[in-house]
Amino acid sequence: MAKKLRKEKYIKNRVGRDGKQFFQVSIEYWDDEGNKQQYNKSFNEKDYDSPSLALDAACMHRNDILVQVKGNRRKPAIKKEFECYAVKEVFDKSRDLLICSKKTWNKLNSLYKYNIQPFDSVNIRDITTVDIQLSVNARVNDSSNDKLARLLYVWKRIFHTATVMGVVDKDPTIAVVLPKSKKPQVKRKVMTTKTILDDAIEAIRKHTHKTDEHLFNAEIIIYALKTIYYTGLRPSECFALSRSDVNLNTETITLKNRIGSTAEEENVLVALKSEDAIRTLPIVEELCDILNELMKFQDSHMLFAKFDGSLMNISHIDSKIKYACKSEGFEFNMYQLRHLFGTDLITNNVDSRTIQELMGHASYSMSVSYARSSEERKKDALDKRHLS
């Protein structure tokens, strides 16, 4: 009986037609072009004194070959050929691939010029995490925390676009740490009072040119301020109201549109952003009288349209109100009325669900964030405190 020989890796034991054993060295490897190759060589016992010596020779040869193909035993990662795109090219393409409104695009473009423009002509694949980190860090002294976050968002948007385009295989923004701003933070005044609203109305009238068009537009703005005061509407919702949205018989206002922008146009009617924002609000008696006056004053189907029938531009209105009030020595803006509305509801212990639905928020926590205290309320809380 023939002696049973040991088994060796990469060596196969075969028997030829003549009954002699031979040992086949069989090694698979990959060449430099990434093509799969198979190496084979046989060692026959008839060429040696015994099968054992033939196996020993096969083992020695196998070891030599393994040394030669070391590093090619595993399939190499074939490097993908990427098209070359500069950072500016990718940013521009993001407008088509990651659709946003014209207004949002203008903001993104402004942030790009402020922070990323020096990288305009750099190949997107050459941008590193360090490049992005340093570019954002460079703005810690002159940008707020919100602005720093928006700057980083633009970088993320660029690499998201590059990924969609298939021109990068990794996103270096993932490892970027958002720095904290060193710019002195000025706390914005978001609270107001009915007295300040009345002063703002007088300021608007005082600082309006005495032409039919300007006087008409000023009164429309005043009607809008009163409407926001009683409803807590977002300015963009208020200026989108039409006659068909107001039912004085049922004393309700139905909200479904806002002033916004599309990818092509700014300052147009668009749908509300979320289902929570779509709502029907009851109208209090004081507002019914105001809206009755407005409908007699306004000829257009759009309740807050300008003298020429076109939609109001909220940014322009904000500027007009700010200028008039600043000229009279105080600060005021439309959105403060929404904060006042939310504060009044919360301090009057209205239930959370009702507040959330009146304000059109997705959650009550968002409604709470609108509420503000006052110095009088803080003092009253301390006066009523039961000391331990």
Give the distance, in angstroms, between the CA of residue 150 and the centroid of all CA atoms in the same chain.
8
Q: Answer yes or no: are the C-beta atoms of 251 and 288 closer than 8 Å.
A: yes
Report field, pTM of the whole predicted structure over 0.75 = no
Predicted pLDDT at 1:
42
- Ranges in the chain, pLDDT < 50: 1
Predicted pLDDT at 280:
94
Q: Answer yes or no: are the C-beta atoms of 31 and 37 closer than 8 Å.
A: yes
Spell out the residues 6+ positions from residue 155 whose beta carbon is closer than 8 angstroms to its own.
116, 132, 135, 136, 173, 176
Domains detected in the chain: 11-68 (3.10.450), 87-175 (1.10.150.130), 194-368 (1.10.443.10)
pLDDT in tens, 276-298: 889 999 999 999 999 999 999 99
Residue 293 to residue 47: CA distance in whole angstroms:
115
Handedness of CA 18, 19, 25, 26 (dihedral sign): positive
Predicted pLDDT at 81:
62
Interior/surface letters 230-240, b for 16+ CB within 10 angstroms, e for the rest: bbbbbbbbbbb
- Calculate helix-pair angle for 145-165, 129-137, nearest 10 degrees: 150
Predicted pLDDT at 139:
94
